[in-house]
Structure formats: C-alpha cells, structure tokens
Amino acid sequence: MAAHYYPFGKYKISESEVFYTTQLSFAFVNISPVRPGHVLVCPKREVKRFADLTADETCDLWLTAQKIGRQLESYHNASSLTFGIQDGPQAGQTVPHVHIHIIPRKGGDFDNNDDIYDEIDLKEKQLKRRLDDEERPKRSLEVMAAEAGEYRKLFS
C-alpha cells in the first residue's frame, strides 16, 4: 500500500511524525523544535491564512491544540504553554499552511520570556536555508518518529 502523507505546505509529513488526528486537524512533531515538546497542529485542508478556515475547522484546531497542550505540558514537566500562530509572511509565517505552534514552557527556559519569538524566527530562517539547500535536516525521521510514538501513547 502506498505511504500516506499529510501535506504541510510543500512538505510531506509522514504518518510516523503525526501523533494525533481528528476529522479536520492533525498534530505532528517539529523538525526543528525551539524547546522539547514544540509541536505543530494543522488543519487537514491546506489553507494559508487563519481567516481561510471554516468555523468548524477553527473550533477543531483550537480544541485539538488545547488537548495536546494539556498532555504535553504534563509530559515535559512544564508549568506553562506558549500557543502561537504566525499568520502571513510579514508575521513570520514560512510555511503557507495554517499551523499553531505549541511549546511547553518552564521557569528560566529563556533569559527573557519573549525571547522565544526570536528563537522561533531564527530557527525557521536557519531551517529554510537548510531545507532549500537540500542539506540534511536537523532531526532524523527516526528521532522524530520515536518522539511521535511517545506522544501517541498519551492519547490512546
């Protein structure tokens, strides 16, 4: 049987990277996380901007993010969460497919709390250079699949 992929902009996310799905959304591990547990939640329908989502997709996406955030905060022994959407290129969106970043947070994880946004930006610029140059991505598929496997257990 042909392998199944979830489109994420121009990337193909393999099922092994995906740890949670609903009828309208999917959640997967990040190829270049800024902190442990930094994952992404996407609508299955490939739309660029937040305003392009239907009401059902918007509800489903945020309910999914809420559920995942709760589990990953606990799994990573964190005490807070950053939820973020970069909606459009001038807001820092590099992949033109709506996605919510979910990042478990701990005291002292960044010198200044809001440095996390610079870190997301920096990582994405570095990643884009690496992926566009077809250099080896930062994390192997095996490492990402192992992480997704751990998270999948939280929802079974």
Tell whether residue 16 is a contact of ligand AMW (CB under 6 A): no
Tell whether residue 127 is a contact of ligand AMW (CB under 6 A): yes
Place of tokens 């290129």: 89
Tell whether residue 32 is a contact of ligand AMW (CB under 6 A): yes
- Tell me the C-alpha distance between 151 and 120, whole Å: 22
Binding mask 42-71 for ligand AMW (x = CB under 6 A): ------------------------------
Q: Which stretch binds ligand AMW (CB under 6 A): 49-57, 75-83, 108-116, 119-127?
A: 119-127
Tell whether residue 36 is a contact of ligand AMW (CB under 6 A): no
Tell me which DSSP letter residue 16 carries. Answer: G
Least Å from the CB of residue 7 to ligand AMW = 11
**Which 3-state string (H, E, C) describes 19-76?**
EEECCCEEEEECCCCCCCCCEEEEECCCCCCHHHCCHHHHHHHHHHHHHHHHHHHHHC
Structure-block tokens of residue 7: 């489109």
C-alpha dihedral, 61 to 64 to 68 to 69, nearest 10°: 60
Give the one residue of 31, 68, 72, 98 binding ligand AMW; rule: CB under 6 A.
Answer: 31
- How many residues of this chain interact with ligand AMW, rule: CB under 6 A? 14
Q: Is the dihedral of CA 32, 128, 12, 95 positive or negative?
A: positive
Tell whether residue 86 is a contact of ligand AMW (CB under 6 A): yes
- Pairing type for strands 80-84 and 39-43 reads unpaired
Give the one residue of 63, 95, 145, 154 binding ligand AMW; rule: CB under 6 A.
Answer: 95
Positions in the binding site for ligand AMW (CB under 6 A): 11, 13, 30-32, 40, 86, 92-95, 123-124, 127
